[in-house]
Amino acid sequence: MKKIIILLSVFCVGCKTQSVMVKPTGLVVDKAMVVSAREEASKIGVEIMNKGGNAFDAMVATELALAVAYPYAGNLGGGGFMVYRKANGETGTLDYREKAPLAATKDMFLDDKGNVIKGKSTTTALAIGIPGTIAGVFEVHKKLGSLPIEEILKPVIELAERGVIVTNKQEKRLNEYRNELIKINGVNSLLSTVFKENDTIKYPALAATLRRISKNGRDEFYKGETAKILVQYLQEKGAIITMEDLAKYEAKWRTPLTFKYKDLKIISMPPPSSGGICLAQIFKMIAPYDLEKMGHNSSKSIQVIVEAERRAYADRSYFLGDPDFVKIPLKALMADDYLKQRMANFNFDKATLSSDIKEGNVNYNESTETTHYSIVDQFGNAIAATTTLNAGYGSKYYCDALGFFLNNEMDDFSTKPGEPNMFGLVGNEANSIAPQKRMLSSMTPTIVEKNEKLFMVVGSPGGSTIITSVLQTILNVYEYSLSMQEAVNAPRFHHQWLPDLITFEPNTFDTKTFDILKSKGYKINEKTTPVIGKVDAILVLPNQTLEGGADFRGDDKAVGF
Ligand code: DON
């Protein structure tokens, strides 16, 4: 036996033998956990598991409870991605991303001269993609759920009726967005009202919608009364979504994108998310470097990670889009030789210039307007799910009759080659608009295995910064020996090829580190963002208990038993 262990450790170069157990600093529970953006949603997910439901039942409950408790990003009018790993090791992903309506056209956001019309893909009703969330949760339930849907939705409907208490952060967000919400929805719309911390917001219209969905199933949203009310509302507002668009919508099971990093196996979302493929490229490019020795958030570690990010995001812009519409050279992009050659021109003395990789010049802002939750159940099943309306409160269009916001996901398409979207991401033909096509995403729900066992469940909001937030959280635990909660809390940085800047969370990094990086030609940006990502993760500790990492940047909360 001893011999086998020695042999294994000789062959597994660079593998971690976690000899010292890192002290957990987040919530630790024995069996089951949900970490999400709101305590109410985490609690409902856990309640479902407590009743004997599995992680998939809990997913349905948590996703819809977020639509009630966290309308900023939780949704019925948006979409998302889910990655799962069953206790027996089987893995899969579900794509419930929004789609472009049948009447969408490639140039729909351009003027006669071919220039992008500012705001048309973000704040008009044309920005709305066909919602996928209800199709998504029902698909999960049909394939993998165990409790009746009515039982799962009951606490969610009760929450909408009882109401949700406004947190301090929520009050601030509502204040920040109120003028925009009033402009679109008028003063009488539910969230146009001034709400203060500790007030309770009740959602009776949403409760009624959910009750109909609970009774009539998925088709209520796509073909039934809800569909009719929704399409009438959308058409009044100038959207192009029709009953046919809703009826045609399907969520899609996709093969996970998996790859190895040392002795970790990382299971993530394939296109139409760029998350998994970019994560794979970055991990493979940094693998030859000894990050642990370089130190957490040291200038050298930052350089290696940034240079890999720069190269991955350049590829993202050119190659990635909806795989149902474009051919993506996934194998070639993930090939070890290709990625080795990609990093060949990097050295520690001097920053590579993004303009030397490909030209461009753009601006962007990061934010946290999507939401991610992680679940592990008492049977050992795990779920990472990220769901979004795109911007905060999506397109801001709130259908008062149904009680939910509509997304502005059309902005995730490349409206024109080389033209940045709201996250400063540039794209090309591969991500151009076409009827029924899904827009490219950065959402990166991810599950990590170590020694063939469940190790971590992780994900984040943050637009283009999602991928780099997930990357750093995994590295923080695996390379830098932080606890799950510390890994989530640790200050983050981000590079996305264009603009050619390293963005840091303000006032969290050493100025000496900045001086070193500047001397090598890196441009430092601490201005455009208060936070990068908002990670909710679960780590399986060596003794099989679960540690939650709930991001302090939001109201996020780990709950479990
Ligand atoms: O799918 C995407 O990549 C974006 N729609 C996600 C938006 C997001 O994370 C907003 N929060 N910052």
Q: Where are the alpha helices (DSSP H) in 36-187?
A: 39-50, 55-69, 133-144, 149-162, 168-185
**Tokens 């295995």, residue?**
449
Q: How far apart are CA 294 and CA 300, in angstroms?
A: 6
Q: Ligand 1 mean position to 509 CA, how many Å?
A: 25
**Tokens 């991500």, residue?**
431
- Determine the average pLDDT of the residues in 407-417: 96
- Determine the average pLDDT of the residues in 435-464: 97
Given a contact cutoff of 8 angstroms between Cβ atoms, the answer to whether 170 and 116 are in contact is no
205/360: higher pLDDT: 205
- Determine the average pLDDT of the residues in 446-475: 97
Range scoring the smallest mean pLDDT among 11-20, 353-362, 368-377, 421-430: 11-20
pLDDT range class, residue 529, cuts 50, 70, 90: confident
Query: Phi-psi bin for 238: left (phi > 0), alpha (psi -120 to 50), beta?
Result: left
Q: Residue 90: inside a domain, yes or no?
A: yes
Instruction: Read off the DSSP letter of residue 273.
Output: B
- Supply the residue whose CA is at minimum distance from atom 2 of ligand 1: 441
Q: Does 162 lie in the same domain as 74?
A: yes
CATH code where residue 320 lies: 3.60.20.40
Half-sphere exposure of 354 toward its Cβ, with a 13 Å CA cutoff?
Answer: 23
By annotation, the residues acting in catalysis are 370
Q: Does 259 lie in the same domain as 246?
A: no
- Determine the average pLDDT of the residues in 351-372: 68
In the chain, the amino acid numbered 324 is D
**pLDDT of residue 427 exceeding 50:** yes
Q: Is 116 helix (H, G, I), strand (E, B) or coil?
A: strand
Given a contact cutoff of 8 angstroms between Cβ atoms, the answer to whether 238 and 252 are in contact is no
> Distance of CA 498 to CAs 358, 441, 523, Å?
9, 17, 12
**pLDDT of residue 131 exceeding 50:** yes
Q: What atom of ligand 1 comes closest to residue 366's alpha carbon?
A: 12
**Has 367 been labeled as part of a binding site?**
no
pLDDT range class, residue 363, cuts 50, 70, 90: very low
Q: Residue 73: inside a domain, yes or no?
A: yes
Q: Does 172 lie in the same domain as 297?
A: no
- 535 phi, psi to nearest 5 deg: -90, 135
pLDDT range class, residue 527, cuts 50, 70, 90: confident
Given a contact cutoff of 8 angstroms between Cβ atoms, the answer to whether 336 and 284 are in contact is yes
**Could you report the per-residue pLDDT of 209-230, keeping only the tens digit for each?**
999 999 999 999 999 999 999 9
- Supply the residue whose CA is at minimum distance from atom 1 of ligand 1: 441
pLDDT of residue 368: 65
Q: Does 196 lie in the same domain as 126?
A: yes
24 CB near ligand 1 (under 6 Å): no
In the chain, the amino acid numbered 84 is Y
Q: Does 474 lie in the same domain as 555?
A: yes
Q: Residue 377: inside a domain, yes or no?
A: no
Q: Does 432 lie in the same domain as 329?
A: no
pLDDT of residue 357: 80
**Has 263 been labeled as part of a binding site?**
no
Q: How far apart are CA 216 and CA 224, in angstroms?
A: 8
**Could you report the per-residue pLDDT of 473-498, keeping only the tens digit for each?**
999 999 999 999 999 999 999 999 98
pLDDT range class, residue 410, cuts 50, 70, 90: very high
**pLDDT of residue 431 exceeding 50:** yes
**pLDDT of residue 367 exceeding 80:** no
270 CB near ligand 1 (under 6 Å): no
Q: Is the dihedral of CA 340, 342, 343, 345 positive or negative?
A: positive
Q: Is 375 helix (H, G, I), strand (E, B) or coil?
A: strand
**Could you report the per-residue pLDDT of 385-397, keeping only the tens digit for each?**
999 999 999 999 9
Number of H-type helices and E-type strands within the chain? 19, 21
Q: What atom of ligand 1 comes closest to residue 461's alpha carbon?
A: 9
Q: Considering its fold, how many domains does the chain have in total?
A: 2
Structure tokens at 98: 């929004």
Please say which residue of 383, 414, 437 terminates a domain: 437
Q: How far apart are CA 122 and CA 101, in angstroms?
A: 15
**Tokens 């399907």, residue?**
250
Q: How far apart are CA 505 and CA 366, in angstroms?
A: 10
Q: Ligand 1 mean position to 318 CA, how many Å?
A: 19
CA 362 from chain center: how many Å?
23
- To the nearest whole percent, how much of the chain has pLDDT over 90? 90
Q: Residue 165: inside a domain, yes or no?
A: yes
Closest to 173 measured CA to CA, from 185, 156, 186, 191: 191
Q: Ligand 1 mean position to 391 CA, how many Å?
A: 7
Q: Residue 245: inside a domain, yes or no?
A: yes
407 CB near ligand 1 (under 6 Å): no
**Could you report the per-residue pLDDT of 325-349, keeping only the tens digit for each?**
999 999 999 999 999 999 999 999 9
**pLDDT of residue 524 exceeding 70:** yes
**Could you report the per-residue pLDDT of 256-293, keeping only the tens digit for each?**
999 999 999 999 999 999 999 999 999 999 999 999 99
- Within 10 A of 212 (CB to CB), how many other CB atoms are there? 16
**Has 454 been labeled as part of a binding site?**
no
**Has 390 been labeled as part of a binding site?**
yes
529 CB near ligand 1 (under 6 Å): no
**pLDDT of residue 365 exceeding 60:** no
Q: What atom of ligand 1 comes closest to residue 460's alpha carbon?
A: 9
Q: What atom of ligand 1 comes closest to residue 367's alpha carbon?
A: 12
Given a contact cutoff of 8 angstroms between Cβ atoms, the answer to whether 442 and 425 are in contact is yes
pLDDT of residue 369: 82
Please say which residue of 384, 418, 437 terminates a domain: 437
Q: Does 514 lie in the same domain as 407?
A: no
For the entire predicted model, the pTM comes to: 0.95
**Has 211 been labeled as part of a binding site?**
no
Q: Ligand 1 mean position to 533 CA, how many Å?
A: 10
Pocket test for ligand 1, best of 95, 177, 313, 390 (most atoms within 8 A of CB): 390
What mean pLDDT, rounded, does the chain reach? 94
pLDDT range class, residue 10, cuts 50, 70, 90: very low
Q: Does 415 lie in the same domain as 522?
A: no
Q: Residue 48: inside a domain, yes or no?
A: yes
Pocket test for ligand 1, best of 133, 443, 494, 536 (most atoms within 8 A of CB): 443
Q: Does 267 lie in the same domain as 343?
A: yes
Instruction: Read off the DSSP letter of residue 352.
Output: P
**pLDDT of residue 5 exceeding 70:** no
Q: What angle do CA 390, 396, 399 make, to 5 degrees?
A: 115
Q: Residue 54: inside a domain, yes or no?
A: yes
Q: How far apart are CA 43 and CA 3, in angstroms?
A: 47
Q: Ligand 1 mean position to 429 CA, how many Å?
A: 20
Q: What angle do CA 549, 282, 15 make, to 5 degrees?
A: 70
Q: How far apart are CA 289 and CA 268, in angstroms?
A: 23
- To the nearest whole percent, how much of the chain has pLDDT over 70? 94
Q: Does 307 lie in the same domain as 336?
A: yes
Q: Ligand 1 mean position to 535 CA, how many Å?
A: 13
Range scoring the smallest mean pLDDT among 29-43, 352-366, 451-465: 352-366
Please say which residue of 437, 466, 487 terminates a domain: 437
- Determine the average pLDDT of the residues in 149-166: 98
**pLDDT of residue 4 exceeding 80:** no
For residue 150, the enclosing domain spans 39-253+396-437
Q: Does 272 lie in the same domain as 129?
A: no
**Could you report the per-residue pLDDT of 106-127, keeping only the tens digit for each?**
999 999 999 999 999 999 999 9
For 128-156, b where at least 16 C-beta lie within 10 A, e where not — what string?
A: bbbbbbbbbbbbbbeebbebebeebbbbb
408 CB near ligand 1 (under 6 Å): no
Q: Does 321 lie in the same domain as 220?
A: no
Q: Residue 488: inside a domain, yes or no?
A: yes
Quick one: angle between helices 149-162 and 55-69, nearest 10? 20
